[in-house]
A and B are shown apart, each in its own frame.
Chain A
Amino acid sequence: MKKTLQRLRKRNYISYISFWIIVFLYFLAILADFIAPYPFNKQFRDYPLCPPTKIHFFDHNKKFHLRPFVYEVKLVNPALNQYEIVKERICPVYFFVKGEKKKILGIFPSTRNLFGTKEGKIFLFGTDMHGRDIFSRILYGARISLSIGIIGVSISFFLGFLIGGISGYFGGKIDNILMRLVEIFMMFPAFYLMLALRAVFPLNLSSFQIYLLIVIILSLIGWAGLARIIRGMVLSIKEEEYVLAAKSLGLSSFRIIFKHIIPNTFSYSITAITLSIPGYILGESTLSLLGLGIQEPYPSWGNMLSVCIGNLRVLSNAPWMLIPGLFIFLTIICFNFLGDGLRDVFDPKNW
């Protein structure tokens, strides 16, 4: 792992940075309970569509404060959601302030948050129309959006490798049957297949069930094309001499497929894996956008964005509602760079 990173750093610095950005995002997602100043479903009814809170060091008298502070804001025009700073109310930002009761990582009970204010509110990315803190919701939403990619990719690559590998290696009838199955899946346009699969299941599922459902739907769509490509690669790799050598050593077919053939597709599939993770994040966003994904009040980056769609007033008055989109963009571009870098690194001939 350490060696791989060193090579990544040497060969492709952008993808090295991307790697750490991704790690950081996952870190945020895992520790969301602790880092987020508010719970994802906490509504501050007095603060709908509040713009991002600015953090100050100098007050309006140009006086320097060592401890950063925020001003308390007040809704002055509920119709237009206009806020005004209350200049007298300076609320210092503290680390490890007391917040709501929760369990960090689901194990350690705690009431502390990483940062927060004792009076007033701190909304780093503003609030949505229900007065929920977008920053907190992004952190909680990252759990869903970031894990859906990883889990979805693992399932569909597992299926892709298994079916593509078996199909390519054994050939003949098995190949024929499996590839016709793949074609059935590929026949439908992915988007409609997604909607159709979602429509099969009832709408009133618990959010965890919906989450599982989305992962399964997305990976069921993803594996077919992959299996086909893997099959093609296996077809050519199985003619390689080292496969014959492995056979002459008496290794089992299963071992030959998964130890000698599949790893030789990695130069392609590592890139494909990292390039397809964004597809899952976007797929989840699409479903959520259409109201078929993760349901409110549970946040995902997709359903946070979906609020903006068809609501131009919100978009023009509260552009911070689009920040989840920036996170989707950042994640996708980082995964793409990482994929590029990993492909170079995993080819032993480049070492």
Chain B
Amino acid sequence: MKKLLNVRNVVVGNEEIKILREISFEVNEKEIVSIVGESGCGKSMTLKTIIKLLPKNLEILSGEIYFDGIEIVKYDAMEKIRGKEIGMIFQEPSSYLNPLFTIGNQVEEAIKEKIEKKEKKERVIKILKEMGLSSNVYYQYPHQLSGGMQQRAMIAMSLINNPKLLLADEPTTALDLTTAFGIIDLLKNLVTKYNLSIIFVTHDISLAKYISDKILVMYAGIIVEKGPSNLVYTNPLHPYTQKLINCLPEKYKKGERIKTIEGQVPSLKDLPEGCPFSPRCEYKKKICENYIPGEIKIEERNVRCFKYGNFMES
């Protein structure tokens, strides 16, 4: 398989805080990679780093991102890549669509090629149909659609230029379960249809296992575990992943109390000096408090935990 995206040791932040610390991962062609983790651990920021739409007070401090032969961190014509090579969909479709224009108008606007208006319209209606929407939607305004339909329209918008990579920032969080699964199945089908790779951000590790080939588990700006989704789900190695999976309701019988992870994600302003998970970890050793563990490869997976040996941050 060919590598499409290669993120190498990326650090994002400013003088005060570091949002992402030494992030590295790869996305192959026609692959779905999920990023899971609690709120505020940097999942969405990872996506925004890839498409270079970080908030003004944050910047990429070091590292490299290779996308299809282009080094993105130093590339300064992102307008050419955004929408054309990399598409993005968001959490709450209703607020990501401009309320003043019809869906047709907005999807048409995304088309980068200079073609005639009539041709554009045909293409938009065709893609709307592929997304499971009626051609009527072309003439409708965002507020006239349901959440699921809006999300489909968003997907149509981001896929109209046949991008190679789709960044999905919790696209199903704002939707109810049945609609959400409709969207998930749609995304899964798109991979083969459009030769698409997807980076899928979610809270839900079982959803991640359902949709993706690979799972990255993030905690406080660090990828603590990454590997094939089946393995990560059935046999988690990192204590954080284990606890995450232990929180899933399907692991419990009726009447049993669901365990949660004690404590909270540390504030980015006062991170522990060592492993950020150490204050909540039951396997905590002395070394955990002072050093950030390096990556170690076990059973096709990369884990960052001193439980499996003393690998320091290089």
Using a CB–CB cutoff of 8 Å, the interface residues on chain A facing chain B are 240-242, 244-252, 255, 259-260, 263-264, 266, 348-349, 351
Contact = CB atoms under 8 A, between A and B. Distances in A.
B112 A248 contact: no
Contacts of A264: 98-100
A241 B95 CA distance: 6
Interface residues of B, number: 28
A241 B112 contact: no
Interface in B85-123: 87-88, 90, 92, 95-101, 109-110, 112
A249 B100 contact: no
28 contacts: A240-B95, A242-B96, A242-B98, A242-B99, A245-B96, A245-B97, A246-B98, A247-B53, A247-B82, A248-B82, A248-B87, A248-B88, A248-B158, A249-B83, A249-B109, A249-B158, A250-B80, A250-B82, A251-B109, A263-B98, A263-B100, A263-B101, A266-B100, A348-B99, A348-B100, A349-B99, A349-B143, A351-B141
A246 B154 CA distance: 11
A240 B84 CA distance: 22
Nearest to A255: B109
B127 interface: no
A184 to B, nearest CB: 28
Contact of A249 (B82, B101, B141, B143): B82
Contacts, number: 65
A160 B158 CA distance: 33
B297 to A, nearest CB: 34
B81 interface: yes
Contacts of B99: 242, 264, 348-349
Interface of B: 51, 53, 78-84, 87-88, 90, 92, 95-101, 109-110, 112, 141, 143, 154, 157-158
B109 A259 contact: yes
Most-contacted residue by chain B among A247, A250, A264 (CB, 10 A): A250
Given A242-B96, A260-B98, A248 B143 contact: no
Contacts of A266: 100
Contacts of A246: 98
A127 to B, nearest CB: 51
A163 B25 CA distance: 43
Contact of A244 (B53, B80, B81, B143): B53
A247 B55 CA distance: 12
A250 B99 CA distance: 19
A250 B97 contact: no
B90 A245 contact: yes
A343 to B, nearest CB: 14
B82 A241 contact: no
Among B51, B99, B143, the most chain A Cβ lie within 10 Å of the Cβ of: B99
Contacts of B92: 241
Nearest to A245: B96
Most central of A242, A245, A251 by chain B CB within 10 Å: A245
Nearest to A249: B83
A249 B95 contact: no
A263 B141 CA distance: 15
